[in-house]
């Protein structure tokens, strides 16, 4: 990731957790100055928090923030998107709109903007809050390469980024969007196993969480297939193969595949 600062002014329409994650990431990476960022939100306490913590411009004036900015991040709740677009749609003309709204297709946003806006749809996930997020990015028609590069750098400040076709966004939602919940469940279950075998809850949770973190980092940094890394831990007749046998009997592999599929299908339903 280039460490050259971004020059564009960015407005966040909606100042919730994902907007705050991005604001914090952009400032920590020194990609933006506080005076390049403006956040709006209907909750005054939320605006005060963002202003006090990050020193950015805040306010409830969605239209004014949109006209001020060159990049507009749509970070509102899905059920309020249409009313927000009615308010700011005309002001989005010739601007870059970046959506972090789950289940909102580019076509829906374009329709609310009168079709004159460059739109990039993103799907970041919850670990973005600690700058270990995974964001998928899909660009709409008429989006320039420098627009995509700008958005990629924005989201690289809070984790990793992968380009996808928009038709695959529901699959992304089922995997990396919902996936943190599956991993939290696995960490909790591993911790329960440690407690069952006599460890304190605090020690068991630390062992489980750091083990998951370390295993994930090995996959990313070695580039090896997870099955190969698994085999490296699995000695003939040893402890690990005994545990893996139980996981196979319990259907863990199929359960995780089914979870991704179910969440992706639900995302499709919600997007209709």
Successive 10-residue mean pLDDT values, the chain, 272 residues: 80 96 97 97 95 94 95 94 93 93 91 86 97 97 94 97 96 96 98 98 98 97 98 97 97 98 91 75
- Report pLDDT for 27: 97
Residue numbering of the annotated binding site for NADPH: 62
Identify each DSSP E strand in 15-172 by its residue range. Answer: 37-40, 57-59, 71-74, 96-99, 118-123, 133-139, 159-163
pLDDT of residue 88: 95
Q: Based on the fold, state whether residues 141 and 207 are members of the same structural domain.
A: no
Looking at the fold, whether 159 and 198 belong to one and the same domain comes out as no
The whole-number pLDDT of residue 206 equals: 98
Task: Show binding-site residues for NADP(+).
Answer: 13-18, 75-78
Distance (Å, rounded) from C-alpha 68 to C-alpha 8? 11
Which pLDDT belongs to residue 115?
Answer: 75
The answer on 66 and 32 residing in a single domain is: yes
Q: Is residue 15 part of a domain?
A: yes
Answer yes or no: do 36 and 139 share one domain: yes
Residues 6+ apart with CB under 8 A from 31: 3, 5, 6, 153, 154, 157
Pairing relationship of beta strands 10-13 and 118-123 according to DSSP bridges: unpaired
The pLDDT value given to residue 1: 47
Which residues are part of a known binding site? 13-18, 62, 75-78
> 267: domain range?
177-271
Same domain, yes or no: 122 and 163: yes
Does residue 1 lie in a domain region?
A: no
Does residue 100 sit in the same domain as residue 28?
yes
Write b or e for each residue in 148-182: b if 16 or more Cβ atoms lie within 10 A of its Cβ, otherwise e: bebbbbbbbbbbebeeeebeebbbbbbbbbbbeee
Q: Do 135 and 202 share a domain, yes or no?
A: no
């Amino acid at each position: 990731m280039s460490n050259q600062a971004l020059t564009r002014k960015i407005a966040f329409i909606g100042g919730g957790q994902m907007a705050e994650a991005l604001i914090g990431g952009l400032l920590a990476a020194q990609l933006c100055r506080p005076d390049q960022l403006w956040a709006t939100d209907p909750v005054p306490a939320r605006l005060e928090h963002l202003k006090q913590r990050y020193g950015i411009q805040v306010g409830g004036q969605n239209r004014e923030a949109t006209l001020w900015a060159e990049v507009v991040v749509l970070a509102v709740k899905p059920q309020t998107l249409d009313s927000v677009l009615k308010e700011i749609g005309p002001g989005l003309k010739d601007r870059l709109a970046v959506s972090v709204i789950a289940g909102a297709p580019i076509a829906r946003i374009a329709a609310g903007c009168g079709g004159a806006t460059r739109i990039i749809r993103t799907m970041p996930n919850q670990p973005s809050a600690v700058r270990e997020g995974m964001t998928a990015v899909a660009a709409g028609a008429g989006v320039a390469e420098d627009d995509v590069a700008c958005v990629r750098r924005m989201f690289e400040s809070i984790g990793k980024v992968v380009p996808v076709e928009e038709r695959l966004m529901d699959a992304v939602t089922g995997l990396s969007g919902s996936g943190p919940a599956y991993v939290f469940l696995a960490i909790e279950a591993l911790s329960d196993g440690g407690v069952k075998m006599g460890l304190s809850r605090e020690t068991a949770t630390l062992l489980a969480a750091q083990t998951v973190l370390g295993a994930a980092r090995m996959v990313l940094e070695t580039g090896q297939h997870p099955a190969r890394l698994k085999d490296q831990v699995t000695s003939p007749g040893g402890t690990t193969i005994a545990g893996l046998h139980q996981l196979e009997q319990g259907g863990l592999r199929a359960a995780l595949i089914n979870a991704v599929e179910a969440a992706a299908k639900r995302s499709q339903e919600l997007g209709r």
